[in-house]
Amino acid sequence: MAMTSTSPHSGRTIRMGRMTRHNLLMGLLFISPWLIGFLILTLYPIVASAYYSLTRYDAISPPEFVGLGNYVDLFTKNPLFWQAVGNTVYYAAIAIPLNICIAIGVALLLNMEVRGRSIYRTIFFLPSIVPDIAAAMLWAWILNPQFGLANAMLKALGLPTIGWLTDPDWSKPSLILINAWAFGGSVVIFLAALQDIPRQLYEAADLDGANAWVRTRYITLPMLTPVIFFNLINGIIGAFQYFTNAYVITGGQGGPAGSTTFYSLLLYRNAFSYFKMGYASAMAWILFAAVFVMTLLLFKSSGRWVYYEGGDNN
Amino acid sequence: MATVTSSTLSPSASRAGARARGVKKGLRKLPAYVLLTLLAILFTIPFAWLISTSLKDPKQIFVVPPEWIPNPFVWSNYPRSTTFIPFWRYFGNTLYVTLFNVIASVVVCSFVAYGFARIKWPGRNIVFLVLISTLMIPYPVTLIPTFLIFRDLGLVNTLNALTVPALFGSAFYIFLLRQFYLTIPQELSQAAKIDGASEFQIYWKIILPLAKPALAVVALFAFIANWNDFLGPLIFLNDKNNYTLAIGLYGFFGRSRTEWGLLMAAATLMISPVIILFFLTQRTFIEGITLTGLTG
């Protein structure tokens, strides 16, 4: 927008300036719905939530400033907080790698030019669009300890039955299993990425006498790393917000014995059952910081293991 | 066998050899087929079990070991599940919220994306970076203040609480559409500008028609996201008359945990529109998912 009258083509420069200003106005006009929404429904809430996290606030009487009291309380006096952190880390540490591994495995199989590929793809994809509430109800029934299908199948195979969602040791694996059923979206993405790998790479490897393992390890996997990276980031953000299935299946209780009280469930309970809005806001900010740090670390590490085609790894 | 006959008929031995190798290659794929089929069965079983249970009465449901084929078929679970809870009312609410948000998302996001992709203005890249980074903000951070704002505006306990946010667009859809707009040649806009078209006319007459595939993807994603949404209704709706299917079914589930036949019938009814939509739009769907994963 700076208009330099010293320019030899000053007339032109001024016109460009007017053009720039026109473009700025048009640009802002076009993005204005989002911009207004961003200010009211994102930026203000972020600032407000940071402030609430320093207060005691029941959503009715005005917030009462308590400094870092909520944070201190969470970190030092609330065992449930640490249990929720533990549950969430447990869930993320198993569910994310598991889903990525299954998705890559299935995508590799589908990429072998198998017949009926689109039918298989449809079958694997469908569960991922089933509403959470319906999936939770269905799986609560399948995993019913007495009359459920899962235990009936175990019995038929001569295996001992499992308490599934009613057993504190099995409740998290059960939820991970339910989540794994809905892995289909990532299969589609991995399959597309596999089909994008240039054939010449494999042909060149064949000439060098590389076997299937070498081809997978040194061509396929490196070419998939950007998608793995994308899935990891999404998986982490998703796992720390994991809520619906656990909430629905346990009736909001996060049981048995707190074994499915995930971070977002505990946060929701503090905010909307106990109306401890300040306390819940502090939890939200701890979550925000944790997700931010992990995403940052992943981005920092990505230079070492994520391969971007065409080059400069930055 | 096929190779034997072909080698006797084919004058060219090398072609027969190629075929033999083809069969050998097919055999090599056998483990893949076995694995895929096993997995496919495993992934289909829950659906089959859902339908099977929805057609049984309690006597058939609580049989050990369970039976797959209902005998007799109890179709009455379906009509009963729609009267046990005000199913069609919830259905109507859900449909209203979903269609409103699909239309709003397509209109608003396609408009906003134009400002990010087709007009060059100072600061655009920084603002776009802000838009992208909002995708990384966990929803609990904004949830509580948003709830309080909506409460003060009188939106809580109305369906407006679920539809108003869509009027401001969604960062993810804006991002998707922007990526698509960038692939449309700039020359088209320039030619139109020389003919005296305004930005709005270019958006409406040139970009939108060309962006139809991407708009379809946004519409599909918005449909699924809103039809399936549980957290929004859970937080913003208390009055049963305003319930959507997700939260209505949750209440049903909480009250009658042993009525598996009715519950599965209601779940099937809720799932069906999504599944039907998927089969009608499969190509767009798969392309959309691919787009999100590979441009991200």
Contact A75, A81 (CB under 8 A): yes
- Total domain count, chain B: 2
Q: Which of residues 141-160 of A touch B (CB under 8 A)?
A: 141-142, 146-147, 149, 152, 155-156
Interface size A-B, in CB pairs within 8 Å, comes to: 256
Residue B67: inside a domain, yes or no? Answer: no
Q: Any chain B CB within 8 A of the CB of A192? A: yes
B43 is a domain residue: yes
Q: Is the pLDDT of residue A71 over 80?
A: yes
In a domain, B68, yes or no: no
The answer to whether the Cβ–Cβ distance between B43 and A124 falls below 8 Å is yes
Domain match, B42 and B98 both? no
- Give the structural domain span for B22: 2-54
In order of A293, B42, B216, B219, B243, the CA distances from B223 in angstroms are: 33, 27, 10, 6, 17
Q: Which of B28, B34, B36 to mutate to test the interface with A (most CBs of A within 10 A)?
A: B36
Residue B69 lies in a domain: no
- In the stretch 68-107 of chain B, residues with CB closer than 8 A to chain A read none
CB B81 within 8 A of CB B144: no
CB < 8 Å to B143, chain A: 45, 271, 284
- pLDDT (average), residues A66-76: 97
pLDDT of residue B21: 59
Do the chains contact at B49 and A141, CB–CB below 8 Å? yes
User: Quick check: is B59 in a domain?
Assistant: no
Q: Is B280 touching A (CB cutoff 8 A)?
A: no
Q: Are residues B8 and B96 in the same domain?
A: no
Cα angle A85-A87-A88, degrees, rounded to a multiple of 5: 65
Q: What is the 3-state secondary structure (H, E, C) of chain A?
A: CCCCCCCCCHHHHHHHHHHHHHHHHHHHHHHHHHHHHHHHHHHHHHHHHHHHCCEECCCCCCCEECCCHHHHHHHHHCHHHHHHHHHHHHHHHHHHHHHHHHHHHHHHHHCCCCCCHHHHHHHHHHHHHCCHHHHHHHHHHHCCCCCCHHHHHHHHCCCCCCCHHHCCCCHHHHHHHHHHHCCHHHHHHHHHHHHHCCHHHHHHHHHCCCCHHHHHHHHHHHHHHHHHHHHHHHHHHHHHCCCHHHHHHCCCCCCCCCCCCCHHHHHHHHHHHCCCHHHHHHHHHHHHHHHHHHHHHHHHHHHHHCCCCCCCCC
> pLDDT (tens digit, 9 = 90+) per residue, B17-61?
555 656 666 677 888 899 999 999 999 999 999 999 999 999 999
Tell me what the pLDDT averaged over chain A comes to.
90
Which ranges of chain B have pLDDT less than 70?
A: 1-26, 293-296
Q: What is the pLDDT of residues A105-146, one digit of tens each?
A: 999 999 988 889 889 999 999 999 999 999 999 999 999 999
* Together in a domain, B42 and B180: no
Residues A242-273 have pLDDT tens digits of 999 999 999 989 989 999 999 999 999 999 99
**Rounded CA separation B294/A189 (Å):** 7
CB within 8 Å: A237 and B275: no
Q: What is the mean pLDDT of residues A268-286?
A: 97
Nearest to B168 among A41, A44, A110 (CB): A41
CATH code for position B97: 1.10.3720.10
- Contact residues for B188 (Cβ-Cβ < 8 A; gap 6+): B206, B210
Residue of A nearest to B238 (CA): A272
Q: Is A116 left (phi over 0), alpha (psi -120 to 50) or beta?
A: left
Q: What kind of architecture, by CATH, is found in domain A70-305? A: Orthogonal Bundle (1.10)
- B141/A49 Cβ within 8 A: yes
Integer Cα distance of B49 and A125 in angstroms: 18
Contact between B206 and B198 under an 8 Å Cβ cutoff? The reply is no
Residues B91 and B49 in one domain: no
Chain B residue whose CA is closest to A102: B39
